[in-house]
Chains A and B, each alone.
Chain A
């Protein structure tokens, strides 16, 4: 294998699994350390720069970082007394938002400079548009955001129940963006892209989401329409106070997070017998595992492998839903199909049905001759790097770009689109993306002292305290999760392995004494003859069986052997560097920060 090029910023970025997995590449270990130090405002600002909505995401993110967390690969069930679990990254983010010093934060928020004379329209007031607005407003652009709802926030405000995300948090974080200045909100539904373009904007960003809930198409649907609701619209009506009660017996159809929000909301609006019924198997449901857990915890059963067949009614008055029982069959290529099991159909009585079986993009307001090309799935044809559409002035992001995803994706898209818009308007090529900023600093303080807490703890993941169920179900505005208090947050933060503090190897300093090999608790270092990767992986001190994780190859040794380190299981405890007599190993923090329109393209 070739020696590893650690000058490539991606190499060590990849080792920070959580940050690499995060669509916005938030520097997770850095903010977790700051939380452990009680520096909540600083932790908040790192998040705010990177993902724009720390308080919101700290409650609602679907956490692509957590399945990636190294902790869940290296824990020992016997030692931690429980199953392997990642660090509670998402809920620690909330700690930063809960305990920050608001005055301090306000003083750190950027203010818009003098207007640069360019105007950008953002269609839709959700997270992607707000991100574009923030990144461009600080550069002097004049931003106009259009939304059909009376307040900014988009699906963040209309789809997420207030018992999961209090409205005050949304108001606060939307306020940080509008507070920059140069951001105008127009409570106005957009019915024509051409009309917006005709207003002479220099660029238009479309962040209008995937607003259409998929409907149910079975006999009886039309007749019983009074008691069948599309989940997305129903949640939005609840959010704005237009709906405040539901029948006692409620069936929620669908297995995604919207279904989970629907059933838990129904429990708070008078639903006593609420159940979720899903076509697929329980494990294949799209909902995040913790959301399923929370729903089940509120006495909501989840029934699976049942396909709705017919809505039964008497003269338009709903009686219940008939389901066909299915089993999953897999063909040679591993594709799943649901086939009838042959068992008798199941009938479930109900007073209301909430349909949460998917959401779709809808662009009825974009005229066919507006210059925007769509693909066969009805999504805009986009440059995946720049988010540019086929119209030179129009960019897309968030759910409107590649279909329904999550808030964190919307923020990531917003950053990219803002860079493209800025580059285009200053006459640069948007195809050339700015490199991330990397700050490298040795953590050595003394012979055995590091400026990070290098001893890994063996605590099991701490649970976020919840409001007592009886109390929570009574009040739809009462937030269920109470958040970590500072003591619990500290303990949970200590579970973080500091994967951004990298083991950096200098072969020319190494005397091949094996001290690092002997001390490494994870057996991840080997000195050996070089070979092809496949071969090497099998013949290390311990086999490197995770091909998604790199081998770090260090050369320059006197014996012409190579140092091979399996990044997969490294604890970043620094013992290799501590036992190294020559300083061939050093622990260096690689602080990697994505470049946004706001601070990198900007020429001072």
Chain B
């Protein structure tokens, strides 16, 4: 952490977005994480994404569990709602919050310990239920707060800072999320904001369970040679399948690309994801192919990044449960106590 607050002076060219805020307005408190932590870069990417999407901060709910990553929501979008849950239980709290107020933008921030170890069960179910959210795992493969033990996402055979080799298989969060039913799945790297910011924007606009696995090197305990989650390793093994140029519905499409170099995915609400191809021909809407490609990458020791899977017509928890269209806090006595005739109707339908 730093001893001084980030100065409020700013670059003269800083401009306000359509919501009337500058990018600096989406910042939070000064980070208390270690200097150089990848999580801070992800926070900066979230700030940038929220600014570019003209989001109203008070419409955002940030939920997290326990761990370095779960401290991060304090460091972005300070003027929003926040909930720090018990370890690994963020998904159920978020599910409940989402059921109660479907109008907020939900952002779950978790780590590899919180989501792949103690919270693995909750993780699976929140994806399966299709909660409309953006679920970001800041994945560093190590338990930083307890000083450097392997986490469940550490690759088999990778070496700890103390020189010990990891004997256990790793959990691949991307594969798990796709299998569990998430409808938007991507992977990125904290050191590549050009890729990460559009991914976060697209995930936030996705009306369903969106999951992003963001490799985020732990400078203190997992940035040495032998680690597979270090800055150097990820840069050397990064296989980016595509780049998103996220385009909203209300904006005119102005950028033009050579035919054959892009792939567009039109989502249910009309918004368009424009994907720039990088090398191989990859179709992220093909679920079986996506799982195959991700597994191939794992086998080859690649860090496959980009938008890996998207279902353009997702259905979310509210649609599945056929819930009321508005947040519960907007329901008043007439809707909640519709009267005898409504009760009689229900009773009659059950006879």
Which A residues have a C-beta under 8 Å from some C-beta of B? Answer: 73-76, 79, 448-449, 454-456, 458, 511-515, 517-519, 521-524, 542-543, 545, 558-559, 569, 571, 573, 575, 578-582
List of A residues within 8 angstroms of B3 by Cβ: 448-449
Q: Report B219-257 residues with CB < 8 Å from chain A CB.
A: 219-220, 223, 231-232, 235
List of A residues within 8 angstroms of B190 by Cβ: 513-514
Q: How far is the CB of A275 from chain B (nearest CB, A)?
A: 39
Contact B223 A511 (CB under 8 A): yes
Alpha-carbon separation in the docked complex, A521 to B36 (Å): 16
Alpha-carbon separation in the docked complex, A388 to B24 (Å): 55
SS of B interface (majority)? loop
CB closest chain-B residue, reference A583: B35
Q: How far is the CB of A53 from chain B (nearest CB, A)?
A: 34
Q: Mark B97-126, 1 if CB is under 8 A from A, else 0.
A: 000000000000000000000000000000
List of A residues within 8 angstroms of B8 by Cβ: 76, 79, 458, 521
Alpha-carbon separation in the docked complex, A518 to B43 (Å): 9
Contact B10 A582 (CB under 8 A): no
CB closest chain-B residue, reference A447: B35
Q: How far is the CB of A601 from chain B (nearest CB, A)?
A: 43
- Besides the known contacts A76-B9, A513-B217, A543-B13, 18 further A-B residue pairs in the complex with CB atoms under 8 A apart: A448-B2, A454-B4, A456-B9, A511-B219, A513-B190, A515-B37, A518-B40, A518-B41, A519-B2, A521-B7, A523-B10, A545-B13, A558-B235, A573-B7, A575-B6, A578-B2, A579-B2, A580-B36
Contact B35 A579 (CB under 8 A): yes
Contact A513 B11 (CB under 8 A): no
B274 at the interface (CB under 8 A from A): no
Contact B44 A542 (CB under 8 A): no
Contact B41 A515 (CB under 8 A): yes
CB closest chain-B residue, reference A514: B41
Contact A522 B232 (CB under 8 A): no
> Do A578 and B35 contact each other (CB < 8 Å), given the known contacts A513-B41, A514-B41?
yes
CB closest chain-A residue, reference B75: A518
B38 at the interface (CB under 8 A from A): yes
Q: How far is the CB of A515 from chain B (nearest CB, A)?
A: 5
List of A residues within 8 angstroms of B11 by Cβ: 522-524, 542, 569
List of A residues within 8 angstroms of B34 by Cβ: 581
Contact B2 A575 (CB under 8 A): yes
- Chain B: residues with Cβ within 8 Å of the partner, total of 35
Q: Which 7 pairs, one residue from A and one from B, show the smallest C-beta to C-beta distance?
A: A581-B36, A518-B44, A455-B4, A542-B11, A513-B36, A581-B35, A448-B3
Contact B2 A513 (CB under 8 A): no
Q: Report B3-24 residues with CB < 8 Å from chain A CB.
A: 3-14, 24
List of A residues within 8 angstroms of B43 by Cβ: 518
Alpha-carbon separation in the docked complex, A558 to B191 (Å): 13
> Do A514 and B219 contact each other (CB < 8 Å), given the known contacts A448-B3, A578-B35?
no
Cβ-defined partner of B36 (8 Å) among A448, A515, A569:
A515
Contact B193 A514 (CB under 8 A): yes
CB closest chain-A residue, reference B5: A455
> Do A515 and B35 contact each other (CB < 8 Å), given the known contacts A575-B2, A578-B2, A579-B2?
yes
Cβ-defined partner of A580 (8 Å) among B35, B38, B193:
B35
List of B residues within 8 angstroms of A512 by Cβ: 191, 231, 235
> Do A521 and B6 contact each other (CB < 8 Å), given the known contacts A515-B41, A578-B35?
yes
Q: How far is the CB of A558 from chain B (nearest CB, A)?
A: 7
Contact B7 A513 (CB under 8 A): no
B321 at the interface (CB under 8 A from A): no
User: Can you show 23 pairs from A to B with CB atoms below 8 A apart?
Assistant: A76-B8, A79-B8, A448-B2, A455-B5, A456-B9, A511-B232, A512-B235, A513-B36, A513-B37, A513-B190, A513-B191, A513-B231, A515-B35, A518-B40, A518-B41, A519-B31, A523-B14, A542-B14, A575-B2, A578-B35, A579-B35, A579-B36, A582-B36
Cβ-defined partner of B219 (8 Å) among A75, A522, A542, A581:
A581
Contact B231 A511 (CB under 8 A): yes
List of B residues within 8 angstroms of A543 by Cβ: 13
Alpha-carbon separation in the docked complex, A521 to B6 (Å): 7
CB closest chain-A residue, reference B193: A514
CB closest chain-A residue, reference B217: A513
List of B residues within 8 angstroms of A73 by Cβ: 12
List of B residues within 8 angstroms of A458 by Cβ: 7-9
> Do A514 and B6 contact each other (CB < 8 Å), given the known contacts A542-B11, A580-B35?
no
B1 at the interface (CB under 8 A from A): yes
Contact B10 A521 (CB under 8 A): yes
CB closest chain-B residue, reference A558: B232
Contact A513 B9 (CB under 8 A): no
List of B residues within 8 angstroms of A582 by Cβ: 36
Q: Report B29-55 residues with CB < 8 Å from chain A CB.
A: 31, 34-38, 40-41, 43-44
Q: How far is the CB of A79 from chain B (nearest CB, A)?
A: 6
Cβ-defined partner of A519 (8 Å) among B6, B12, B14, B232:
B6
Alpha-carbon separation in the docked complex, A512 to B4 (Å): 23
List of A residues within 8 angstroms of B35 by Cβ: 515, 578-581
Q: How far is the CB of A541 from chain B (nearest CB, A)?
A: 8
Alpha-carbon separation in the docked complex, A273 to B131 (Å): 81
Q: How far is the CB of A455 from chain B (nearest CB, A)?
A: 4
CB closest chain-A residue, reference B235: A559
Alpha-carbon separation in the docked complex, A581 to B35 (Å): 5
List of A residues within 8 angstroms of B231 by Cβ: 511-513
Alpha-carbon separation in the docked complex, A543 to B13 (Å): 8
Contact B38 A513 (CB under 8 A): yes
List of B residues within 8 angstroms of A511 by Cβ: 36, 219, 223, 231-232
CB closest chain-B residue, reference A577: B35
Q: How far is the CB of B37 from chain A (nearest CB, A)?
A: 7
CB closest chain-A residue, reference B10: A521
Q: How far is the CB of B179 from chain A (nearest CB, A)?
A: 32
Contact A76 B10 (CB under 8 A): yes
List of A residues within 8 angstroms of B235 by Cβ: 512, 558-559
List of A residues within 8 angstroms of B24 by Cβ: 521
Alpha-carbon separation in the docked complex, A542 to B190 (Å): 20
Alpha-carbon separation in the docked complex, A524 to B217 (Å): 24
List of A residues within 8 angstroms of B41 by Cβ: 513-515, 518
List of B residues within 8 angstroms of A76 by Cβ: 8-10
List of A residues within 8 angstroms of B31 by Cβ: 519, 579
Contact B2 A515 (CB under 8 A): no
CB closest chain-B residue, reference A448: B3
Alpha-carbon separation in the docked complex, A454 to B2 (Å): 11
List of A residues within 8 angstroms of B219 by Cβ: 511, 513, 581
Contact B9 A75 (CB under 8 A): yes
